Amino acid sequence: MVASVAGVGSTASFALTNTAPAADKTIFTVSSVPNNTFSGGPVELGVRFRSDVNGSIKGIRFFKAAGDSTAHTGSLWSSGGQLLATGTFTNETASGWQTLTFSQPVAITANTTYVASYHTSGPFYYEWSRFQSAGVDNAPLHALKDGLDGGNGLYSYGPGGVMPASTYLSSNYWVDVVFAPAP
């Protein structure tokens, strides 16, 4: 928006910009609720995703299954397996969406693939087979269609601390990110 101010004997023009931060974005909406529980663990569960725009990953989300009272960690990885950030979930509720905020947001680049994951030692987690065969688009974020840049709906059994790399039937494990688009 361009504004002009007229004063005695002079006129000044200047541009106004909105510098308010954009609202945080997620792949899944608050109303996205899984309904298929699977038992197993310990396991690292993840999702391969991209953003249309540059920005920062502020944290990781996952949908917690009822009956899982174990500690959970969340991680952000480059597509090549480099750990970019990790942390421990705190103040979890009995079930539903849980959010971890990293101590420092992690800058990501548009149209670059990343992996978000969480680790559980618990007996239950959510899984939906063949979900990722179509991908999830909630612009500017996208959980990639299985096979677009490798498998999606990723898992690795074990103590955690490794990027999940195995896939099974294009499954979705209800892992998400908290993303702040660049202004």
pLDDT tens track for 116-148 = 999 998 778 877 776 666 778 899 999 988 778
pLDDT tens track for 72-85 = 999 999 999 999 99
| Cα–Cα dist 140/181, whole Å | 8
Give the phi and the psi of residue 165 in degrees, each rounded to 5: -135, -15
Query: What pTM value is reported for the model?
Result: 0.84
Lowest mean pLDDT, pick from 10-14, 58-62, 150-154, 168-172: 10-14
